[in-house]
A and B are shown apart, each in its own frame.
Chain A
Amino acid sequence: MRDRDVRNAIHDALVATGAFDGVVLWGLPEEYGSAASQLALAAIEPDSSEQRDEWDSQPAGGLTVHSRVKITLLLRADDPVLRDEAAELLVDTVANALNGQSLAGLTLPAWTRVTGWQWQPAVPPERRITVSCNYAYIVEGWNAYDTTE
């Protein structure tokens, strides 16, 4: 298991909410295109990771990996007030779906949560909110990273 599996688990969790017309792992609509009929969209992208040496000795000791993914929420609506309210609702929906979960059976629930979100300038009829989701997991050994396809 590795970050890829966590991102896939985030994808599945967001799809399961039923709140999105599309949840994609391959970037923003302007980069790959998406149908205008998709009024509520989530794009999951890797952001950053950091290793920490918490205990024991190399190479047997475990390492913790603290990672962050960026989830760009996109909401299209004609009414700007209803649009922003709906976009904000998506943030809460994402938080409820991810907070405290052991994503892919890998992440530590205590460190799995939405840690912040940032409103992007509205481009009518569209509003975007960029959500940061942080999580951490343990690699049991310095040479025990998952290299499966």
Chain B
Amino acid sequence: MPVSKANINWSNVQFGSTPITRVTAAMFGLGGTLIKFKGDTDLYPSIIANVNNEPHASITTADVGTMMNFAPGTGGTLTAQLNDAKALTGGAVVFTVTNNAVFENADANAQHAQFGTCAGTFQFYASDGLTNPLVLSRA
């Protein structure tokens, strides 16, 4: 059966040695930005270049205590799997940042009579300044 080409729900979310469960939302971004050149008689950009990429992630969980327990500036490996909608092998997208994920911040929020949630943010860096630290694979 072919993979569904759609994804639902997160599993295997972990930072360092700490599993992050009760995940309600997660976001991974490449953080790419472009600069444009326009000169002389140009009416449109004649050059567009990508010279800055700041990959990042945000994970929201109901497990407020675990997320708030990470200290900003802590580095480690961050992994998360976005599952295939039909739970088929090869359809899931696995996000992996080996060693180069840095925990940035956590914001907890809880409304009356609702489960509280905590959103943690992560920034990624490249040791050589050139290799994308955010690796995508299929599972």
Chain A residues within 8 Å of B, Cβ to Cβ: 54-58, 60-62, 110-111
> In the complex, are the beta carbons of A56 and B22 less than 8 A apart?
yes
Residues in B lying within 8 Å of A, measured CB to CB:
8-11, 21-24, 61-62, 83, 87, 113, 115
How many A-B contacts are there with CB distance less than 8 Å?
31
* Chain B neighbourhood of A56, CB < 8 A: 9-11, 21-23
B113 touches A57 (CB 8 A): no
SS of A interface (majority): loop
Beyond A57-B8, A61-B22, A111-B113, 7 additional contacts (C-beta under 8 Å) are A54-B22, A55-B21, A56-B22, A57-B11, A58-B9, A61-B9, A62-B22
A62 to B11, CA, bound (A): 12
Say yes or no: A57-B9 contact (C-beta < 8 A), given A110-B113, A111-B113.
Answer: yes
Docked pose: A57 CA to B9 CA in angstroms: 5
* Minimum C-beta distance from A125 to chain B (A): 40
Residues of B close to A111: CB separation below 8 A? 113
Q: How far apart are B14's CB and chain A's nearest CB, in angstroms?
A: 13
List of 4 A-B pairs having minimum Cβ-Cβ separation, nearest first: A57-B9, A57-B11, A55-B22, A55-B24
Q: Which residues of chain B are within 8 angstroms of A58 by Cβ–Cβ distance?
A: 9, 87
Asked if B23 and A55 make an inter-chain contact with CB atoms under 8 angstroms apart, the answer reads: yes
